[in-house]
Amino acid sequence: MKKAFVILFILLSISGCKKTPDIPAGDLGGGQIFDPSTYNPAKYLVSVSNPTPDATQAQVPVIIACHGYGATTFEWDEFRAWSAGRTDYSISQVLLDGHGVTYDQFKNSTWHDWQSSIVNEYTKLVQEGYKNIDLVGSSTSCTLILDLLHSGFFNNTATTVHIFFVDPIIIPSDKFLSVVGVVGPMLGYVESDGAPGEEKYYYHYRPQETLQQLDDVLDVVRGELQDGITLPKNVYLKVYKSIRDPTADPVSVVLVYNGTHTSTGGNIDLDMIDGDIHVFTRLDLVPGVTAQDQANQVYAFNDITMRIK
Amino acid sequence: MKKNAYLLIILSGICVCRAKAQSSILDVGPRVQKAIDLYYENGVSLGYSSKKLMPDRVYFGFSYYTSRLGTAYHSNAIKQDNYLLSAAYYFRRNHIIRPLLRANAGYFSADYGSPIFDMLPSKTMLLSVDGGLCFQTRLPLKISTTFGYNLITSNGLNNVPGTIYPFFYQVTLSWNIFQHANRTALKGI
């Protein structure tokens, strides 16, 4: 009997490892649809569209907008649309490495790869002479940026870096992520519950390898928060968190708030948002959007752009 | 003198026999618990088996375990407390290695440290099952290790605190203080 279970386990594991989803051509990851920033980076990245700013342009704040796990630049398109015509700041929409491309490229990416895109854009903008660089992250991007804060990446910034987190994830709402290391290889991939239309902008099929990477970075940053992250002198951090969230458990904000302090030992700024949408700043394609949801989005956009001045 | 010695031996024998056949058990000891992918929450466990109800097979217990004595000790981890009542069945009486199954119900409470989080769920019922092995030595010492599953966890929307994870394992070292008391009583004769 014991032998039968062992054989069954091995068979399941092997069958899981070989399993690749049949992705429709019209879906992200299917090999035909890619994030538009991959073939038109100048439209999305300030470092590409204006690599040689003059003295005035260099002073205009640049907000690096970073999306979450499994997402694409689509996640911050509404912020860009809302900001149309604004000249007091510009937006650089980063595509996390491994995202917005094929399923296999996503599958082979690590959380360090995802983070590198944020580092690269920030570093390029600094090298090009931009003086006021801010960041807004959603979901897993917040986790990646917290790790950068812990590593001292922003320690030597000359001007204030304003960092904004929208629905940061430290504790997932789906608690079965905790056993992805065991269950993942048996499954090969997991299907996400996306609304109609989202399959063009979000990976519907998530390789178990990437879920393990997600679990890893959540563990790492949770440990960093437990030990305590002190913001450098010139870094400002504010968090906006939905009080109900099907992806990033709301308790994540407690860990971020209690685990992060300003250089003078104070608390970070925080807004608890009355809503139940994960990344409440992205409402496009979300079913059942209410007037409160729209008000939450506009509030966050206004608050962020007001604070970077 | 000889008569008294015989009487003493007989009495001692009766006491030991009575102790073996009829003693209830009260196991007390530290408990170390780890949620898979989350906190260490440590504390104390009590387990009671009545001499009148399937002695040394059916146990009723109480456990208190907390992150304050685990991951939250001197860290920013959430301070959370668990109070658990349990009913367990231990198989293979009088063997050294004994499988056990247990059902638990209790109460969980988390302290988020600031009133700004008052709108987040911080308390809930606990409902779990666990099973594993108990190593029962010749001493009144038990070492039990189990793997368990919490039936009530959060999904981000259901008003359950977010730091209860589904799977956990625990190790409890316990000492039967009733047996210790019996031996003390025997020594006093």
Judged against a pLDDT cut of 60, whether residue B186 lies above it is answered with no
- pLDDT for position A150: 98
B68-104 pLDDT tens trace: 999 999 999 999 999 999 999 999 998 999 999 999 9
Residue pair A42/A49 in contact (Cβ under 8 Å)? The answer is: yes
The verdict on a CB contact (< 8 Å) between B36 and A178 is yes
Q: How far is B83 from chain A (nearest CA, A)?
A: 21
Per residue, the 3-state secondary structure of A159-178, as one string, reads CCEEEEEECCCCCECCHHHH
A11-37 pLDDT tens trace: 555 554 557 898 988 899 988 899 999
**Burial degree of A291 (CB within 10 A; 0-12, 13-18, 19+):** exposed
Confidence of residue A234 (pLDDT cuts 50, 70, 90): very high
Judged against a pLDDT cut of 50, whether residue A202 lies above it is answered with yes
In whole numbers, what is the pLDDT of chain A averaged over residues?
94
Question: DSSP code of B189?
Answer: -
- pLDDT for position B182: 59
**Beta-bridge partner residues of B22:** none
Segment B111-120 shows an average pLDDT of 97
Q: What distance in Å separates the CA atoms of residue B109 and residue B111, rounded to the nearest whole number?
A: 7
All residues of chain B having their beta carbon less than 8 Å from the beta carbon of residue A225 are: 76
Does domain A2-21+29-307 bear CATH number 3.40.109.10? no
Q: How far is B153 from chain A (nearest CA, A)?
A: 8
The verdict on a CB contact (< 8 Å) between B157 and A251 is no
Confidence of residue B138 (pLDDT cuts 50, 70, 90): confident
Of A178, A219, A226, nearest to B77 by CB-CB distance is A226
Q: How far is B116 from chain A (nearest CA, A)?
A: 8
Give percent of chain B with pLDDT exceeding 70.
83
Confidence of residue B179 (pLDDT cuts 50, 70, 90): confident
Backbone dihedral angles phi then psi of residue A200, each to the nearest 5 degrees:
-85, -15
Q: What distance in Å separates the CA atoms of residue A143 and residue A298, rounded to the nearest whole number?
A: 24
- pLDDT for position A20: 85
What is the CATH class of B24-176?
mainly beta
pTM for the model: 0.90
Judged against a pLDDT cut of 70, whether residue B148 lies above it is answered with yes
- Sign of the dihedral through C-alpha A93, A76, A253, A172: negative
Q: Copy the structure tokens of residue A5.
A: 């279970």
The verdict on a CB contact (< 8 Å) between A251 and B38 is no
- pLDDT for position A7: 54
All residues of chain A having their beta carbon less than 8 Å from the beta carbon of residue B155 are: 173-175, 246
The verdict on a CB contact (< 8 Å) between A254 and B119 is no
Of A171, A245, A254, nearest to B117 by CB-CB distance is A254
**Beta-bridge partner residues of A191:** A205
Counting one residue from chain A and one from chain B, the pairs whose CB atoms sit within 8 A come to 86
Give B 163-182 residues with CB within 8 A of chain A.
163, 165-167
Going by DSSP bridges, is the β-strand pair A133-138/A161-166 parallel, antiparallel, or unpaired? parallel
Interface confidence (ipTM) of the complex? 0.89
Confidence of residue A4 (pLDDT cuts 50, 70, 90): low
Domain ranges for chain A, please list them.
Answer: 2-21+29-307
Domain ranges for chain B, please list them.
Answer: 24-176
All residues of chain B having their beta carbon less than 8 Å from the beta carbon of residue A272 are: 116-117, 119
Q: Copy the structure tokens of residue A288.
A: 């059942």
